[in-house]
Amino acid sequence: MISRGEHGISRKQFSPNAIKVLYRLKDGGFDAYLVGGCIRDVLLGQQPKDFDVVTNATPEQVKKLFRNCRLIGRRFRLAHIVFGREIIEVATMRGHHEAPEDKNQISQSSEQGQLLRDNVFGSIEEDAERRDFSINALYYSINDFCIYDYANGLAAIKAKQIELIGDPETRYREDPVRMLRAVRFATKLDMKIAPNSEKPMTALASLLDNIPPARLFEEILKLFLNGKAQANYLMLRKYGLFNSLFPELNRILDNNPGGLEATFIENMFKNTDDRINADKKVTPAYVFAALLWFPLLERTKTVQNEEQLSEYDAFSQAINSVLSDNAQHIAVPKRFTLGARDIWHIQHRLDKRAGQRAYRLTQQPRFKAAYDFLLMRVEAGETQHSELAQWWTQYLSLDINGQKEMVRTLGQPAGPKPRRRARRRTPKKPTE
């Protein structure tokens, strides 16, 4: 236990809505604590974003206390308390899985040791043992304003280490997503994964194949849209985790290390980080368009050779095939796959600029993203498209009259036109 005088944390550093939830649960006769990331971030001097509450009240009991509550989840039964755009997540303290006495409490594991159902409740000490990393097993109480540290979380913060609670292999098998979380916390908090927690990751990376694709999509967003995408990508590759997320791209990268493909992907993640850190918008459609671009090009060649189709028809068929295969690993919502399709199709239309085509293309909702995509391809090494990229860059910098002149002179040699030599007229012979 760390007293208020020792930790120096004030309630004002937390969400007022989270504090309201704590007091409502307390007044209802239950124990309640702020837990996890919000405590960790405040101790690190960072601004917390998510505020999670743990209590000894069951989800049904929480729902009776809050009219603005909805229960979610099957594997983990949780209560979400909704305050406008802010959601305070309330979880019941987890217990161990050895034959729970209450038949309403359900625990189920797969043959690989992965937890499929985890609605087993227990004490705060048991809950701390069930947390993933020691830095996330810190509890803040409004009863005495103390921090309760059950897993040496403060020591891990000082050592700047991401360390699993319990046996690493067992904990990763219970939930393989913990390997992705270890990577994300390490880059986000500028920490290192502890040696004992790091050791089994490569051998267990394939367990991610058992995770539902919809859940992996949410994890991908956290990894690649948090301002640390490039560092996360490199660490995922290091531990072999990227292969379970994007197997075709991973194979292409392995076959040509340090090649154009690797440069393109790293540049994309760097640009994504730059935009996010500058508070600019990044759409997942663009990220997935880049991650599936080289598998798409490879699949296009295969379809074209096998079915003797035109390049455009093979390209269109390959898009459906690549997206279908990707959905087996990561369930990308349709609104983002449609955006990726638009970006890809525009790549094939960028060199068709005559007449009204250039202007009409710029009116497409995804044109700017597709133009940036072309620049990124050239920057990575596709120099054959340099002239096309320069043309579009100049075109977009001009007013309507300048754009019309550029389209009118398409295909004409640069520089002044040669002067035509005047024909000499032969004088007519006088008539006799």
Which residues are designated catalytic? 50, 52, 132
Q: How far is CA 318 from the centre of its chain?
A: 24
8-state DSSP, 140: E
Residue 35: C-alpha distances to residues 39, 244, 249, 334, 335 (Å):
6, 31, 38, 35, 34
Place of tokens 């079915």: 307
Whole-number Å distance between alpha carbons of 268 and 315:
22
For residue 355, give the H/E element and its range. Answer: none
Q: Beta strands 138-141 and 32-35: pairing type?
A: antiparallel
Q: If phi over 0 gives left and psi between -120 and 50 gives alpha, with beta otherwise, what is residue 117?
A: beta
Collapsing DSSP states into helix, strand and coil, what is residue 239? coil
Listed in sequence order, the residues at least 6 apart from 84 whose beta carbon sits closer than 8 Å to its beta carbon are none
Q: How far is CA 346 from the centre of its chain?
A: 24
Listed in sequence order, the residues at least 6 apart from 425 whose beta carbon sits closer than 8 Å to its beta carbon are none
Q: For helices 260-277 and 367-380, what crossing angle results, to 10°?
A: 130
Q: Exposed, middle or buried, 373 (CB in 10 Å: 0-12/13-18/19+)? A: buried
Q: How many CA atoms lie within 13 A of 296 on its CB side?
A: 23
Q: Which amino acid is at 297?
A: L
